Amino acid sequence: MSPSIHQRGLTLVEVMVALTIGLGIVLMAGRLLILANVAYAAQVESAGVEDGGRFASDLIGRAVRQAGAADADMVADPAADSAPARLAGLDARTLSRATAGIDDPLSAAVNGSDVLAVRFPGDESAVDCGGFPVAAGEEGWSIFYVARNGEGEAELRCKYRGAAHWSADAVVSGVDGFQVLYGVDTDDPPDGVANRYVSATAVDALDAGFAGLPPAEFNRRTHWKRVVGVRVGLLLHGSRPTRAEPGGARYDLLGAGYAAAAGGEDAGSSLDEAGMTPDLRRRERRLFTFTVALPAPPS
């Protein structure tokens, strides 16, 4: 007869040890999965902010350069220089979609954000910031400002003149602040180089002595026609909180030098995460600062 076979199962202690080890492995794997998901979400949000900033920078840059486009009528008739300036701006203001140009600005600006308005002559290749063509003989507009949408999220908008009315579309969402400075050539005669970058309010102050002039003469002499460059600061945040800890960084949208010089006169030029809501403080955030030079006028 074959020998009897004796079988013995695991003891209770061995089962408990095995369960404990297995549970520890599961918990570690779950923790690693959570960390991986958090890192992936942060990477996605960061990439989204970067893409939005690059798109806005390219769009604003193209629009500003169009302000220096040659106008055939002006080249043929220098007296046409009595037309309004191609660039205009407002400090700490926002706009309505339906009003003409930058008329009737609103004071409820998001974090003191500015308005940048560009006029340009139409031709076979001209398009406004909405992507609509502007035919020769017509005047195009590309206006950038910040406003809140129906969900309360601040967005950079592009305002343009359509065939029948004015309208505006969102360019990028998640805007903390939008600041603009204008490089003014104050040399006489002008040499095409900016002597200083100042706010829209400061450009208007330079024109204070022209207030009583007829419109045509004012348009010939305004310092807005001496603007040869535009400097933009755009601070964007992600669509959801992905940072483990609330941020406490300070962002000088137009550089630390300007922030120090402007003091309390241009509060929107510096934004501090410590003053934001807890939700916003945990979002990915990027600052985009760039300068666009206007093309030199034809000689």
Look-up of token digits 């992600």: 238
Range with lowest mean pLDDT among 69-73, 191-195, 210-214, 250-254: 69-73
One-letter identity of residue 11: T
Look-up of token digits 């003989």: 137
pLDDT band for 75, please (50, 70, 90 cuts).
very low
Other beta carbons within 10 Å of 149: 11
Q: For residue range 193-231, what is the model confidence (pLDDT) as tens digits?
A: 999 999 999 999 999 999 889 999 999 999 999 999 999
- Phi and psi (nearest 5°) for 207? -90, 5
Other beta carbons within 10 Å of 123: 18
- Phi and psi (nearest 5°) for 127? -135, 150
Question: Which residues are 237's β-sheet partners?
Answer: 285
Q: For residue range 89-144, what is the model confidence (pLDDT) as tens digits?
A: 999 999 999 999 999 999 999 999 999 999 998 888 899 999 999 998 889 999 99
pTM: 0.85
Sheet holding 227-241, edge to edge: 196-198, 175-184, 227-241, 283-293
Radius of gyration of the chain (CA): 28
Please give the Cα distance from 101 to 81 (Å, whole number). 20
Please give the Cα distance from 47 to 41 (Å, whole number). 10
Please give the Cα distance from 129 to 142 (Å, whole number). 5
Output the six-digit token pair for 124. 């076979």
pLDDT at 38: 63
Average pLDDT of span 27-46: 70
Instruction: Compute the Cα dihedral for 237, 240, 242, 247 and give only its sign.
Output: positive
pLDDT band for 255, please (50, 70, 90 cuts).
very high
pLDDT band for 76, please (50, 70, 90 cuts).
very low
Q: Are 106 and 126 in contact (CB under 8 A)?
A: no
Average pLDDT of span 150-164: 92
Q: Are 170 and 160 in contact (CB under 8 A)?
A: no
pLDDT at 23: 82
CA nearest to 233, candidates 298, 161, 177: 177
Q: Are 178 and 155 in contact (CB under 8 A)?
A: no
